[in-house]
Structure 1
Amino acid sequence: MQSNVTRELFDKVILPVYAPAQFIPVKGSGSRVWDQNGEEYIDFAGGIAVNALGHCHPRLIKALQQQSEKLWHVSNVFTNEPALSLAKKLIDNTFADRVFFANSGAEANEAAFKLARYYATQKYSPYKTKIIAFNQSFHGRTFFTVSVGGQAKYSDGFGPKPADIIHVPFNDLDAVKAVMDDHTCAVVLEPVQGEGGLNSATTEFLTSVRALCDEYKALLVFDEVQCGMGRTGSLYTYQQYGVIPDILTSAKALGGGFPISAMLTTEDIASVMHPGVHGTTYGGNPLACAVGCEAFDIINSPEVLAGVEKRRAIFIEHLENINQQFNVFREYRGKGLLLGAYLQPEYHSKARDFLNAAAECKVMILNAGPDVLRFTPSLIISENEIQAGMERLSKAVEKVVNS
């Protein structure tokens, strides 16, 4: 351990937009993490649904090592083999015909929203620019994506916001109908809201929104940054609903821990674009795409995808055992291993207290708003690791309940 690299240093050198835990992780293996003092933690957070194969998966390490000795970066003035290979995998396994690579979910969503408006203005009318989004949604931290996101606390205070964005209640078809018109270019939603409390769309809602988009010649955009790539038990969540979007965004688990994102769309929609309309320096770089290819192959396997629902059931069984003792959870939300435990009313606004207590008890969890505990572990976490983590979580819950 470097004695001069401490948690206190964070408060001196990093922009104060985060409030991280008091320990500093330095090593990980599977779903276990060790801090500077050698203390072991069980990871139920997964880097916010990023580490879908745990820490330091040997096949990802090998892919990164091999590519690191070949080619790191060439920009998009040139192309590269890993980017083309990953794009082909995505196209072969989804509705898409075209892929755009970037580095984060926010960048993928920025590209999606720009494409939706550009397509509508080029194909129909310069006034067809309205975007319908949903309360409590989250789409990233760029100014455009944070404005489309339905949580004003993330977009207020930065000056005039991008215009022609309307927010309505999630899963409320009548609310969508009330604002849908010929000026609408896109409806944007997360099939399972991540930061907004792990609310899942109903099949009826998505089917009806799809029909409305068809009627008004608007594009349906699915943000699957958090719920995609095996997280809910299918490669992408839209495949469980039988509702096909026009544009889909993917990130987080796509690189298994290496920063990469993708926007997927159809040939028709992609056809309005041409060189120079949009771009990125790092997107599709060989290192990220080489790791992404390997992560994709592992996740998109029957064994991993079938194991997601099995592990969800084990998590809920343990949470229920905790709940029988302490009565802190009211219901369970989300799909697969995008799992939320909604707190009883007397514990509302205390999700962060549970998170902090969990860290003290050596288990890493997340919150999804002030009232929901969020679990986004590795998709291949072992039963022993779940057992060990839940024993620690039980102690953390007891701390909060008795505080």
Structure 2
Amino acid sequence: MLNRRLLFLFLLCFVWPGTTLLYAQSDAFITGDALPDAPELALRGAYKVGVRTLKLTNPGQLDILKAKDGVVPTYDRPLTLEVWYPAQIPQGQTERTVYDQVMGQANNPQRPIIPYTFEGRALRDAEPVREGTPFPLVIVSHGYPGTRYLMTYLTENLASKGYVVVAIDHTESTYRDMANFSSTLLNRPFDDLFVLNEMARLSTKGSNSFLAGLSDANNTAIIGYSMGGYGVVNVGGAGYSAQAVAFFKQATGGSDALKLRAAGSPAMAAGPDPRIKAVVAFAPWGMERGIWDAEGLKGLRLPTLFIAGEKDDVSGYEKGVKAIFDGTVNADRYMLSYINARHNVAPNAPTAAVMKPGVSWNEYMHYAEPGWNERRINNINQHFVTAFIGMHLKGQDNRKYFDVPEKITDGVWPGFKPRAVGLEMRHQKP
């Protein structure tokens, strides 16, 4: 016991300059905690964090999985959401929760569903903070497959900085219910917009929700990873290509439902929802598959931060994410690249559950980045997403974090500790 106390005092005195020992109540590293070399804005904000689960239903949606001969029936589409928010932590309680997650893929005998849990720094069902409300809204969309818990390092962190953050379980696209890809192709933008509308409704003063008066849907950022990135790029204004519509029609036996969000459609001609102020797209999918073209990408006019691995082997880089960045000529956009990283630049770092002996290599590699420390990636993402949405949702002057040399070769970027390497930042104005 004495040795543990001496160790604590040593860490308290000699922690890396410029950081604080944030989590003395626990010896264990929890997903999203700041490493000693975390950049400046990765540290948690002034607010404690609460978390709640919501279950919603979007009625009358196209049931593309039951399309036949070009006819698509409708169904009531269920969506489960997780909401993180600034909260009051009662005396004697701890800002801690346990998330129920699974690894594997539905209907894949080679990758059976295996439940596991991991810890987070939020208190389940805590009372919201009411002073300073309403808080800006952030909507988060996972990959295919994934879950609403895929990026808790980021959702908790942003809530601690005065945002209401809602992450979506996209039905038919999670580990538990992964279904044909056509559902993901069609439903991502509709799910995002439905959640935006529901958050606006639930946040209205006088509603019976805990969100009443808490969130400002008129001041929203949308964040998506992989197929989530595909969705938010579309919601941000980029219409799908004619090639994408043709591919979808062939894959679904004759449905042209993707035309609803294609370039030139009434929805895309109307422009993005004015409540959305900024877009963050991690490794957005589709460019190498002809989902996007020059005409469609012109529709993205919102400030956008792209984040990608320079060796992305799923969405592609030069002909993938970077080509999307280059093609969004009407947007003020940045692109952060992790040199030598592949596709997994957005998820939580691997937890102990996926690193146990006997667990499939596929489950570990769903989170891991071969050339990077994933915890450091999490910290860098916290830093730049905080800076970016802070500029556009809170009017913060965070330009210094982006006005940097394209390559970080000398270890010096604003907000970073010395010896940082492996990053590139591009900026293009309309």
Structure with the larger strand share: 2
- TM-score normalised to structure 2 length: 0.28
Structure with the larger helix share: 1
Q: Which has the higher contact order (CA 8 A, sep 6+)?
A: 1
- TM-score normalised to structure 1 length: 0.29
